[in-house]
Amino acid sequence: MTEKEKAEMSADEVMQKFDKESDKREMTGFWGYLISGLCIAFAIFQLYTATFGVLDAHLQRAIHLAFGFALIFLLYPARKGWSRTSMNPLDVLFAIVGAACALYIVIFYNELVLRAGMNNETDFIVGVVGTVLVFEAARRVVGWPMITVALVFMIYAFFGPYMPGILAHRGVQVQELFDHLFFTTEGIFGTPLGVSSTFIYLFILFGSYLEATGLGKFFIDLANAVAGWAAGGPAKVAVLSSGLMGTVSGSSVANVAGTGSFTIPMMKQLGYRPAFAGAVEAAASTGGQLMPPVMGAAAFLMAEFVGVPYIDVVKAAVIPALLYYTGVWLGVHYEAKKFGLKGTPRDQLPKFSVLLKEKGHLAIPLIVIVYLLVSGYTPMRAALYAIALTIICACLRKSTRVSFMDIINGLISGSKGVLGVLIACATAGIIIGVVTKTGVGLKMATALLDLAGGVLLPAMFFTMLTSIVLGMGVPTTANYVITSTIAAPALVQMGVPVLAAHMFAFYFGIVADVTPPVALAAYAGSGIAGSNPMKTGVIAAKLAIAAFIVPYIFVLAPELLMINATVTTVLWSCFTAICGMWGVSMSMIGFCQSQLNIFQRIAFFGGGLLMIIPGMVTDGVGLVILVITFFWQRTNKDKGPIQATDENV
């Protein structure tokens, strides 16, 4: 077995271990045809409504959930030990009952509207069963962290009168809560599922077709051509390719497994420590969730929650994402310098011009979709055009041409790919339903403000901790819903622009993927690299240091998010922030032109931090410190690289 085959096998094992969405049945025969048929029908429904107009909100979302229930229970076994190649009758029963509960709303829609909230006993039973099945479906696909948060919120709804202090409320009756969660558009069928049933499905289908055309391999080859020859080339390839894949990817772990199966063996072969190789891929892949235009599908929800056009969210995310990747890139660069790691010889790398000539057309849909969004097209219409363009562009050259079966398989893959986001959105709706019913969001925001004494920096710190804890082990879309509902309102109350507050909470929810002890992306990278998971997580957190700093900066200087910004302020903020990231990155790695002593590391970190913090005084002081320290370190006696071992963290 070749090294590449071992890496790919390892990637599959990692996906099944750390990404529950990948641990599903692979059926053949009758059940295989039935599941494929449901996936195709699901895709046709979504494409039809996107083309000719979506249905009434409750109907659109109910049909979307009905397909989701049927496919989840057929694809994901109830227990880990159950066969992945045969169907269990209990799962079939759950699929039928789940779909029936969602379709109950479709079938009796007019009666439910006429009753206007006066639900009968049958409605109540359907609501209870449907809500319980949302929890069960989420347990199978998303895992316990998400449903634990939702369960805590439901318990809070029932026991409100017994809660201490500011958290107390009048309480909610059982039937009142289930009616609110299942028969209104403020619970399970709320905004998150609404976005899933329109924008998100189409973008996931778009990503499915991009992957089918070979865009992922093209990105890796392109990154190799651009940076593979440089110092630490394969690690820089990992950063570039993961950033490019992040524009359409919806999962940090999936991104690690997808690009890491190529880049991690390359890094190890070059001489990178296994723990560092896994950490580079984890940090780069996690950043993909912060990279526009998709941002793990959170961008669509953020636009709905904040009440701004989708393109405003995309513009706001650009500079912070670039700063994040600048930090990771610089960390990789100085790690390579520190250990004297060279790049791959140019004659072993693909040629940039040849790549663009042979496969450059595959990137046209990505360019077009960004243009359409900037031009004012709705995300749904832009995604629809981009899907069609992806198929057309792939047919421009024989080597990338897709067959009719490839198109059908794309529909199947897209429908399967949306299931994790779909059920996470439905579960997030339960949390939002409790928040709207009890007002707990405002109560928790007030509690955070009281804890911070009404001072912004402590409030930001406590919001950061809250977001990291709430984001541990939770998929990107659900992650944003939870953190924006619980953590962001505290900052909004302190006068922080709404978009900046939501982006702040979102960033720290995402960075949980590389923050020990629950650093899923880092653990996935360590699984492929064969390294110590905790050590890999610590290094990944160091590489992702920008994600711990930049959110504070864009709250203090919203021009980084293009809020009330001019070209001059944006360019100056970017320049000083990049200089600051240079200093911080050298401090984290402990190397510039030679090894740094502890005082030089502190000076580089302090100077870099001052330059990142907005303000002419801090920028000036930070620049002076960086320049003095840069020339100081040149006097170090140890000028050469050191020997790489896995103990050098």
- What DSSP assignment string belongs to 51-94? HH----HHHHHHHHHHHHHHHHHHHS-SSTTS-SSS--HHHHHH
Given this model, what pLDDT does residue 329 score? Answer: 86
**pLDDT over 70 for what percent of the chain?**
93
- Each residue of 188-206: pLDDT tens digit? 999 889 988 988 898 888 8
Point out which residues pair with 595 in neighbouring strands. 591
Asked if residue 646 has pLDDT above 60, the reply is no
Does residue 293 have a cis peptide bond before it, meaning omega lies within 30 degrees of 0? yes
Distance CA 393, CA 390 (A): 5
Q: What is the mean predicted confidence (pLDDT) over 545-559?
A: 86
Torsion-angle region of 562 (φ positive above 0: left; ψ -120 to 50: alpha; else: beta)? left
- Decide which of 512 and 11 is more confident: 512
pLDDT, tens digit (0-9, with 9 covering 90-100), for 166-196: 888 888 999 999 999 999 999 999 988 998 8
pLDDT (0 to 100) of residue 648: 47
CB 308 within 8 A of CB 282: no
Asked if pLDDT for residue 300 goes beyond 50, the answer is yes
Render 83-130 in DSSP notation, one character per residue: -SSS--HHHHHHHHHHHHHHHHHHHTHHHHHHHTT---HHHHHHHHHH
Instruction: Name residue, tokens 């829609």.
Output: 109
Structure tokens at 114: 């006429």
268 SS3 class: helix
pLDDT given for residue 522 in this prediction: 84
Angle value at C-alpha 514, between 573 and 75, nearest 5 degrees = 120
Q: Which of 184, 174, 166, 168 is nearest to 132 (CA)?
A: 174
Q: Looking at the predicted structure, is the pLDDT value of residue 426 above 90?
A: yes
CB count within 10 Å of CB 538 equals: 19
Cα 74 to chain centroid, rounded: 26
CA–CA distance, 224 with 346 (Å, rounded to integer): 10
pLDDT at residue 8 greater than cutoff 70: no
The dihedrals phi and psi of 647, each to the nearest 5 degrees, come to: -90, -15
Distance CA(197)–CA(192), nearest Å, equals 9
The reported pLDDT for the residue numbered 33 is 95
| Residue of 76, 140, 135 lying closest to 101 (CA atoms) | 135
* 270-285: average pLDDT: 84
Average model confidence (pLDDT) across the chain: 84
- Ramachandran quadrant class, 454 (left: phi over 0; alpha: psi -120 to 50; beta: rest): left
Residue 427 DSSP one-character state: H
Q: Quick check: 150 and 131 in contact, CB under 8 A?
A: no
Q: Which of 342, 343, 338 is nearest to 638 (CA)?
A: 338
| pLDDT band per the 50, 70, 90 thresholds, residue 647 | very low
- The total of other beta-carbon atoms located within 10 Å of residue 530's CB is 14
If pLDDT is split at 50, 70 and 90, which confidence band does 361 have?
A: confident
From residue 622, alpha-carbon distances to 26, 71, 327, 628, 632 in Å are 57, 55, 17, 10, 15
Name the more confident of 483 and 90.
90
At residue 625, the pLDDT reads 95
Residue 93: Cβ within 10 Å count: 11
The region that residue 601 occupies, defined by phi over 0 for left and psi between -120 and 50 for alpha, beta otherwise, is: alpha
Identify the pLDDT of residue 248: 63
As a whole number of Å, the CA-based R_g of the chain is: 25
pLDDT confidence bin for 649, thresholds 50/70/90: very low
Could you give the count of Cα atoms lying within 13 Å of 576 in the half-sphere of its Cβ?
26
By 3-state DSSP, what share of the chain in percent is helix, strand and coil, each rounded to 5? 75, 0, 20
Task: For residues 104 and 120, give the distance between their C-alpha atoms in angstroms, rounded to a whole number.
Answer: 13
Cβ–Cβ < 8 Å for 165, 258: no
Please measure the distance between the N-terminal and C-terminal CA atoms of the chain and give it in whole angstroms: 31
The answer to whether the Cα torsion of 166, 171, 176, 179 is positive or negative is positive
State the pLDDT at residue 1.
45
Residue 368: exposure state from Cβ atoms within 10 A (0-12, 13-18, ≥19): middle
* Torsions phi, psi for 82 (to 5 deg): -75, 155
Distance (Å, whole) CA 210 – CA 647: 40
Residue 192, token pair as written in the block: 């998150």
Residues 6+ apart with CB under 8 A from 297: 195, 196, 199, 200, 203, 204, 250, 421, 476, 477
CA distance linking residue 328 with residue 541, whole number of Å: 10
Residues in the chain: 649
Residues 6+ away with beta carbon under 8 Å from 616: none
| β partners of residue 591 | 595
Cα–Cα dist 418/647, whole Å: 41
